[in-house]
Amino acid sequence: MPTAMWWFIGASCAQLLCAAALLRTRGSEQAELAPQALALLRGGRLAAVTVALVALHQRGAVAAGRKGTIRANGGPGRTRDPVQLGVHGSLQRALGIRALAAHPKARRAVDELRGELDRAGLLRPLGRMRAARVLLLCTAATIPAGLLITTPTGTGLSLAGFVGAVPAVAALALLRLPATPRAARDLLAGLRERHPLPAHRREVTDGRLVQLYVALYGDPALALFLPRFSRDGGLLGQDGGDGCLAGRGRYVSGAAGSAAAGSEGAGSGGAGGGGPD
């Protein structure tokens, strides 16, 4: 194998190590998280905004508008939660959930929450994730570039391909790493185990628990506790669209699916803990 090919392999390994260092997270702080924070871990920005809307709707501060939008319905009520205040402050006019999540006030509030989760070791910082992905793509591309430039043949080609495949395959595997480290995924799994989605909305009378269920389960919990608000406000089918868990955002268990189907047809019957619906 040409000596120059070893330089390409060494460069590929160095890029891989730098990317792995960027993706490392420090030990997480096991503090009690607000429902918006749990939603952000599970399903990203849209999920966090959705839970904030649920809390505001429970106090009568927002309502479903026309054509799948959300509108303000008075003041935000007695809350100091930055995400709820940012979301409510964004509703100078009726907005769809995606436009609302992209509004500067709401976006800034969610970004601040994400920063707190970054510092707690429950999310990988976006800047580091982007830099790591660039390095991983370079890692995977360096070996083919080296083979084209050095043109090894025979045994040298086989050896270069075998050795060079190790960092390239590792880079492709790390590219699939979700933004949430294992500590965050274990936290969500533990909460779901302790708080399975109930079969009927009347089993829950605590509005805070409703927010927790929406944070953990997304659409099934929305359809169970707030069927009319979720449907008319265009919330269903949107939660988790930019999910941090890379495909794990739309968690649905068997009980959750059946509960959602039953409540969607129930309209606004039953008070439960969902607030005005």
Residue-by-residue pLDDT tens, the chain, 277 positions: 677 888 888 888 898 888 888 777 766 555 688 999 999 999 999 999 999 999 999 999 999 988 899 999 888 888 889 999 999 999 999 999 999 999 999 999 999 999 989 888 888 877 787 888 898 898 888 888 888 888 777 787 778 777 888 888 888 888 887 777 888 888 999 999 999 999 888 888 888 999 999 999 999 999 999 999 999 999 988 765 444 443 333 333 333 333 333 333 333 333 345 556 7
Residue 155: its pLDDT value, please? 80
Q: Note the Cα 245 to chain centre separation in Å.
A: 5
For the stretch 124-151, pLDDT in tens is 877 787 888 898 898 888 888 888 888 7
Residue 241: its pLDDT value, please? 40
Residue 159: its pLDDT value, please? 80
For the stretch 249-275, pLDDT in tens is 333 333 333 333 333 333 333 334 555
Give the predicted TM-score (pTM) of the model: 0.73
Residue 274: its pLDDT value, please? 58
By the 8 A CB rule, do 13 and 164 touch?
no
Give the tokens for residue 40.
């952000």
Q: Which amino acid is at 114?
A: R
Q: What is the CA radius of gyration of the chain?
A: 23
